[in-house]
Structure 1
Amino acid sequence: MVALHIRPARREDIDALVDLNRELLHFYGVKPPFPRLDMIRRLQAELLGPAPSVEVLVALAGDEMVGMVAFAEIYALAVCRRSLFIQDIFITKTARNIGVGRALMVELARVAEQRNAFQIDWTADLWNEEARRFYEALAPVLKAEKMFYRLAGTNLRLLLEGAKQGHTATG
């Protein structure tokens, strides 16, 4: 394999990033939520617009994009410190198990250090044993006492409808 280069995504990466994103969706058995051109426009706006909501580091082997890690910086209010959260990390099938994922994580650790972020958090699917083995080799602290929650789709709409009707959450 040619030398690997890790860097922040740029405008000229959007097409390849959409292809990698579609491969990620296929891996999870999810149909792309938007046509390809719409995905291109959305990624351009979210990555390169005036107020980016996500950052992406890409792994390039020569001119080929072989992996990416999408992350966001958050502020841990309780401890008054910055933190990074990985939304997605994905390596194309042809480039797995050759150090691409580790190289992306090392570069992300550099980003965390440069920004004085004290931790990097992420989630993993229980069924994805290959990913879990990779993550465990990085020696993170497994937060087994934590649960991951998500409000989406119908449940998100129900919460909003309840608020409009005057229902309030307790707690």
Structure 2
Amino acid sequence: MTTAVRAATATDVPRILELVHALATYERAADQVEATEEDFARALFPGDGHPATFAHVAEVDGQVVGIAVWFLTFSTWTGSNGIWLEDLFVDPSHRGTGLGRDLLAALARECVERGLPRLEWWVLAWNAPSIAFYDSLGAAPQDEWTTYRMSGEALVSLGTSD
């Protein structure tokens, strides 16, 4: 079995979206994925300008079985960018093989090579296996913050108010 982690290419987009759907199912939110292949292609490989979203994939024998989708953040406290890991997912049949660690290591290398001081992400509070995995790597939970989200009617209302 040959494994590899690499930056995603445009030909990976259909498989990336399949794995996003698998992640949504795992996270009990299968009905919430609205993204299309076109959305991912536009975000990861825009025809004009530079991408604002990036992805790495994990392969086994040439088949993509894992993804790390990420983007750059900015901290006013450090005065520098960091990486926000939006989604990390490895197909259940390939978990425990080190591919999740390899994907995170690829992002850690991006941070080190670019001089970025932070790699951050969310994990669902009920996802004990992932929490244990992240703890084993030395990641530290940041539980003093509360996440807020504005979308739908509230977003439109605020965005169109005077």
Number of residue equivalences: 159
Return the offset for 1:160.
Answer: 2.4
1:121 aligns with 2:120: yes
1:82 aligns with 2:81: yes
Runs of 4+ in structure 1 over 3 Å off: none
Return the offset for 1:133.
Answer: 0.9
1:150 aligns with 2:149: yes
Which runs of 5 or more structure 2 residues have no equivalent in the other structure?
none
**Distance in structure 1 (CA, Å) of the matches to 2:63 and 2:33:** 24
CA contact (8 A) 2:52 2:72 kept: no
**Distance in structure 1 (CA, Å) of the matches to 2:32 and 2:17:** 10
CA contact (8 A) 2:10 2:45 kept: yes
Match of 1:108 in 2: 107
Match of 1:5 in 2: 4
**Distance in structure 2 (CA, Å) of the matches to 1:71 and 1:33:** 17
Return the offset for 1:154.
Answer: 2.6
In the alignment, which of 13, 37, 42 is matched to residue 39 of structure 2?
42
Structure 1 or 2, whichever has the larger Rg, is: 1
Match of 1:25 in 2: 24
Identity over aligned pairs, percent: 21
Return the offset for 1:99.
Answer: 0.8
CA contact (8 A) 1:68 1:89 kept: yes
CA contact (8 A) 1:22 1:32 kept: no
SS at match of 1:90: strand
TM-score where L is the length of structure 2: 0.90
Which runs of 5 or more structure 1 residues have no equivalent in the other structure?
167-171
Return the offset for 1:16.
Answer: 1.3
Return the offset for 1:18.
Answer: 1.6
SS at match of 2:70: strand
CA contact (8 A) 1:75 1:82 kept: yes
Return the offset for 1:130.
Answer: 1.0
Match of 2:58 in 1: 59
